Chains A and B, each alone.
Chain A
Amino acid sequence: MKFLVCIKHVPDTETKVAVHADGKRLDPQAVTQWGASPYDEYALEQALRFREAASEGDVVVVCAGPQACKTTLRTALATGADRAILIDDDRLEAAESLTRAKVLAAVIARQQPDIVLLGKYGVGTDEGSTAPMLAELMDWPHVAAISSLTLDGQSFTASRAVEGAVEIHEGTLPAVFSCDKGLNDPRLPSLRGIMQSKKKPLETLTPGELGLADDELDGSKLSWDAFALPPARPSGRLIEGDPETAARELVRLLHEEAKVL
Chain B
Amino acid sequence: MSATILVFAECRDGEFKRSSHEAIGVARRIADACGGSVGVVVLGARAAAAGASLAAHGADRVLACNDETLDLYQGQAYAATLAAVVDQESAELMIVAASAMGKDVAARLAARLESALACDLTEIDWTPEGGLRGTRPVYSGKALASVSVPGGTRTVATLRPNTFPLPAVDAGRQVTIETIACALDTTTLRVRTVRVEIPEKQELDVAEASIIVSGGRGLKEAANFSLVRELADVLGGAVGASRAVVDAGWIPHAHQVGQTGKVVSPQLYIACGISGAIQHLAGMSTSGTIVAINKDPEASIFKVANYGIVGDLFEILPALTKAVRAHMS
Could you list which residues of chain A lie within 8 angstroms of chain B, going by C-beta atoms? 11, 13-17, 19, 26, 38-39, 96-98, 101, 123-133, 135-137, 140-145, 159-172, 175, 180-182, 221-230, 233-234, 236-239, 243-244, 246-248, 250-251, 253-255, 258, 260-261
**Could you tell me the dominant secondary structure of chain A's interface residues?**
mixed
Across-interface contacts of A247 in B (CB, < 8 A)? 309, 316, 319-320, 322-323
Q: Given contacts A135-B75, A143-B191, is CB(A164)–CB(B111) below 8 Å?
A: no
B96 close to A (CB within 8 Å): no
B112 close to A (CB within 8 Å): yes
Select A96's contact among B76, B117, B211, beta carbons within 8 Å: B117
Interface-centre pick from B189, B191, B192, B320 (highest chain A CB count, 10 A): B191
Chain B residue total in the interface (Cβ 8 A): 100
- B103 close to A17 (CB less than 8 A): no
- A239 close to B117 (CB less than 8 A): no
Q: Given contacts A98-B114, A164-B208, A171-B190, is CB(A260)–CB(B267) below 8 Å?
A: yes
Across-interface contacts of B85 in A (CB, < 8 A)? none
Could you list which residues of chain B lie within 8 angstroms of chain A, going by C-beta atoms? 72-73, 75-76, 79, 99-101, 103-108, 110-112, 114-120, 137-150, 153, 155, 189-199, 202-205, 207-208, 211, 235, 246, 252-254, 256, 259-261, 263, 267-268, 278-279, 285-286, 288-292, 297, 302-312, 315-316, 319-320, 322-324, 326-327
- B145 close to A246 (CB less than 8 A): no
Across-interface contacts of B194 in A (CB, < 8 A)? 168-170
Closest to A258 in B: B289
- A165 close to B260 (CB less than 8 A): no
Select B116's contact among A11, A127, A222, A244, beta carbons within 8 Å: A222
Select A233's contact among B146, B192, B204, B290, beta carbons within 8 Å: B290
- B120 close to A165 (CB less than 8 A): no
Q: Given contacts A145-B100, A164-B205, A223-B147, is CB(A251)–CB(B117) below 8 Å?
A: no
Closest to A39 in B: B260
Interface-centre pick from A11, A19, A98, A143 (highest chain B CB count, 10 A): A98
In angstroms, Cα B101 to Cα A143, docked, is 11
* Number of cross-chain contacts by CB at 8 Å: 274
- A171 close to B191 (CB less than 8 A): yes
Closest to B197 in A: A166
Across-interface contacts of B155 in A (CB, < 8 A)? 221
Across-interface contacts of B254 in A (CB, < 8 A)? 161
- B107 close to A133 (CB less than 8 A): yes
Across-interface contacts of A17 in B (CB, < 8 A)? 139, 142-143
- Say how far A158's CB is from chain B's closest CB, in angstroms: 8
- A165 close to B111 (CB less than 8 A): no
Across-interface contacts of A14 in B (CB, < 8 A)? 278-279
- Say how far A101's CB is from chain B's closest CB, in angstroms: 6
Closest to B140 in A: A126
- A261 close to B107 (CB less than 8 A): no
Across-interface contacts of B208 in A (CB, < 8 A)? 163-164
In angstroms, Cα B279 to Cα A253, docked, is 28
- A137 close to B315 (CB less than 8 A): no
Select A136's contact among B100, B112, B246, B268, beta carbons within 8 Å: B112
In angstroms, Cα B260 to Cα A39, docked, is 8
Closest to B325 in A: A251
- A163 close to B207 (CB less than 8 A): yes
16 contacts between A and B (CB under 8 A): A14-B278, A16-B278, A98-B117, A125-B119, A133-B111, A164-B199, A164-B204, A221-B149, A221-B155, A222-B148, A230-B143, A230-B144, A236-B292, A236-B302, A238-B302, A258-B288
- Say how far B191's CB is from chain A's closest CB, in angstroms: 3
Select A246's contact among B101, B142, B253, B319, beta carbons within 8 Å: B319
- B309 close to A230 (CB less than 8 A): no
